[in-house]
Structures are given as structure tokens and as C-alpha cells.
Amino acid sequence: MTTTTTATRISRLRVPDLDELQNGPVRDFFAGQQRDEGLTSNWFRALSLNEDDLARLNGYLLPLLGVGRRNGLSIREREVIATVVSGENRCAYCHTNHANKLGKVARDWSFGQRVAIDHHQVAELTDRERALADLAVAVNGNPQSIRDEDIERLRDLGLDDSEILEGISIAAFIGATNRIGIALSVPPNPEYTGVPK
């Protein structure tokens, strides 16, 4: 009996081969992912169809998620926000990716999964992380619901205004990336799920 495997479709649109890419920073980004993580992200591959847009997006998104950052919110706090928003939006790729990254940061794979499903049920969240997660839910689903007292709660937990703005920006931008991933039907990388390639 012969077994065949079908390559997973990465996007509803054409996905260029890596050797087709012309933008130097985009090529370098994928080479770095391959070197550091042993993979290339399906979501970024899907967006590589418009290379210059992907380069600009990376210039904003990656620092927002903490790449190369030395101050502001911690990587764990950033991933809590990204995981909560992705779980709320039911984006298969982003939910799986950010829950996986949060689990790695927390050194507990199940932690990321539990935060993605319902952060209210996760006892290990700090008060600060819980408040950021609540803010992320509001920014993502109903930003008009945010009140001055919500901002004061964050300040009372030691967040400064710059960090609060980071939290709002992460929640809003991850919501946008979720919508792109959902519209393109980008599947999670198998490495994020434990599913064999």
C-alpha cells in the first residue's frame, strides 16, 4: 500500500516560493525564521505575496510583539494580549501560534492553551496580566466600552501610560492580523500544534 501526503495549502491566494522573493529584508526575515525556529511561518508566507507590504508590516508588528525591545511590557504580557485576542477571534493560525509562544515563555505549554480558551479561568495570571487581558478583550470587541476607570485600574497595577498604549496597540493590531489570517484561511504550522507534518 502506498501512502501519499498532500501539501497543506497556506493561503487562498498564491504563495510565492521563497526563492522568488526580491525584497532583501523579507528574504532575511524568512532565513532568520528558518535558522532560529526551523520553520517559516505560514502567516508570513501568505503575506509574502506583497513583499513590500510585508516588510512594512514587520517593521511595526515585530517590535510591538517585543522583538528587539528592551523596555515596556514584558514578552509574557505581550503574548497574553496576543493570545487572548486570537482566542476571542477564533483565528486558527494566530490562536495556535501565540498560545504556543506564551506556553514557551511561561515554560508551561498548557498555560498558553488555557489563556487562549478563557483567561478568566487561569489562576496563574498576575493581576497585571489579567487587567491587560481584560483590556485586550474590550479593545478587540467593544472599544467604546473602555472607561477612564479601566485605565486607572491599569495605572494602579503599575502600568505607565506608554505601556497601556502598547497594550491597546497590540490588541488592536493582533485583531487586524487575525482578520487577515481568517480571510486567507491560513492554517497553523504543524510545529505549533504537535500535529505531524
- Domain check: are 114 and 60 in the same one? no
- Domain check: are 176 and 92 in the same one? yes
Assess if residue 175 is contained within a domain: yes
Calpha distance 27→33 (Å, rounded): 10
**pLDDT class of 7 with cuts at 50, 70, 90:** low
What's the Cα-to-Cα distance from 116 to each of 12, 65, 73, 119, rounded to whole Å? 25, 17, 19, 7
Q: What is the mean pLDDT of residues 170-186?
A: 98
Assess if residue 164 is contained within a domain: yes
Calpha distance 2→80 (Å, rounded): 44
- Domain check: are 57 and 89 in the same one? no
Q: How many residues comprise the chain?
A: 197
Residue 45 structural domain: 23-64
Percent of the chain with pLDDT over 90: 89
Assess if residue 115 is contained within a domain: yes
Please name the residues in contact with 5: beta carbons below 8 A apart, sequence gap of 6 or more.
none
Termini Cα distance of the chain = 20
- Domain check: are 91 and 183 in the same one? yes
- Domain check: are 132 and 176 in the same one? yes
- Domain check: are 41 and 108 in the same one? no
- Domain check: are 158 and 182 in the same one? yes
Could you write out the DSSP letters of every residue in 7-21?
PPP--SS----GGG-
Which three three-digit cell numbers place residue 136? 485586550
Q: What is the pLDDT of residues 126-151, one digit of tens each?
A: 999 999 999 999 999 999 999 999 99
CB 101 within 8 A of CB 112: yes
- Domain check: are 32 and 110 in the same one? no
- Domain check: are 104 and 131 in the same one? yes
Calpha distance 92→94 (Å, rounded): 6
Calpha distance 11→54 (Å, rounded): 15
- Domain check: are 59 and 95 in the same one? no
Assess if residue 69 is contained within a domain: no
Domain count, the chain: 2
- Domain check: are 80 and 167 in the same one? yes
**pLDDT class of 182 with cuts at 50, 70, 90:** very high
Structure letter (DSSP) for residue 82: H
The CATH number of residue 158's host domain is 1.20.1290.10
Q: What is the pLDDT of residue 8?
A: 79
Q: What is the pLDDT of residues 20-38, one digit of tens each?
A: 999 999 999 999 999 999 9
pTM of the full predicted structure?
A: 0.93
- Domain check: are 59 and 92 in the same one? no
Assess if residue 16 is contained within a domain: no
Calpha distance 38→45 (Å, rounded): 14
Average pLDDT, the chain: 93
Q: Which of 31, 63, 69 is nearest to 48 (CA)?
A: 31
